[in-house]
Amino acid sequence: MKILVLNAGSSSQKSCLYQLPETGLPEHPPSSLWSATIDWTVADGCGVLKVKAAGQKLEIKLESEDRLEAIKLMLDTLVTGETQVLKELAEIDIVGHRVVHGGSEYSQAVLITTPVKEAIASLIPLAPTHNPAHLEGIKAIEQILGDIPQVAVFDTAFHTNIPPKAAVYPIPYHWYEQGIRRYGFHGISHKYCAARVAQLLGKPLESLKIITCHLGNGASLAAISGGVGINTTMGFTPLEGLMMGTRSGSIDPAILIYLMREWGFDAEQLNRLLNQESGFKGVSGVSADLRAVLSAVEEGNPRAILAFEMYIHRLKTNIGAMLASLGGLDALVFTAGIGENAAIVREKACEGWDFLGLKLDLEQNNQRPEDMDISTPDSKVRILVIHTEEDWAIAQEAWYVSHQ
């Protein structure tokens, strides 16, 4: 069967097509027939579509921010041109979508129905830069492929086992009963990476204490004990925790009260400030993209230098919080766009943990490692770079739902 995966992030759209047997799933991730990415961070007002298939590569500049049209163009490359791998889109059997926020109602993958779409829409206030993108993808598939089965795979599902001491906020308890709690995100990635660590180290997942660092334009950490998530940095929404590309991460909530009282900010202005104008973009004044910020650092730009130093400081502070939850550490994992590709981030994040016996092999770190242990032989904590396979995890869930 052919499974199409749509994985919408806050600043990107990643997609791929798998061909899988009807009778069972392979043990390791297979190569996709086709893959595509849309990057909206390259320049204001436009994006770049990159496609790989049939031994060919294609790059198209998108002249507008119309994401629905961009998805249609992306899917068209499945059936036309040098990247064609299908005679017609009707060959696709099922579509799996990453959905960031499933609230407390959805703790596992589900077939998308009208109530599911309504639930995803109702959670937009909690994931304003993500859930709208998921609905756009679902709508695009409905328009192009009609009533093909679609499956929602929720990023919040992995974190449902976080204990109350970590999940409940220290505000009046009745708000927890109304659904205000730590949900956590990037769960698809955190779950996959923890399982991959166990494979690479040749140890039972149940025996390991792991911190996974999912570092992309959006970023979060997870403390995983025995394969179960027990703490994470994102909370009620994907805004809490680490400093990110355009998101502030955790700040003093009284700042918001001050901006409302003294500067007349309303909810929409605060949302835009915290989700779209902060993080790397807001501090550096250069870009939300770490690559551009690092280029500015090399040029001596003081705000870019400050932004990078803040990012590392907050990353290490939150690693410490996850460590406290675990009470020990077997493996520190870096994944996602920054975690997998920015050697300098891994190097700086691993400094100062000598008391744990954590030692990074600088030469290995600089060799563009993938699914590798980059710690020194005598390091008591293993340090790994893992290529997160969210798309494969989503495809597996879609396969399971289709066989229920």
Catalytic residues: 155
What is the Cα–Cα distance from 261 to 272, expressed in whole angstroms?
17
Is-contact 220 169, C-beta < 8 A?
no
User: Going edge to edge, which strands form the sheet with 46-53?
Assistant: 56-62, 46-53, 34-43, 12-19, 2-8, 94-99, 150-154, 110-111
What is the Cα–Cα distance from 78 to 302, expressed in whole angstroms?
45
- State whether residue 89 is helix, strand or coil: helix
C-alpha distances (whole Å) from 3 to each of 112, 187, 243, 287 are: 15, 21, 34, 35
For residue 41, what is the DSSP state?
Answer: E
Angle of the 390-402 helix axis to the 187-201 helix axis, nearest 10: 100
For residue 331, what is the DSSP state?
Answer: E
What is the Cα–Cα distance from 34 to 52, expressed in whole angstroms?
6
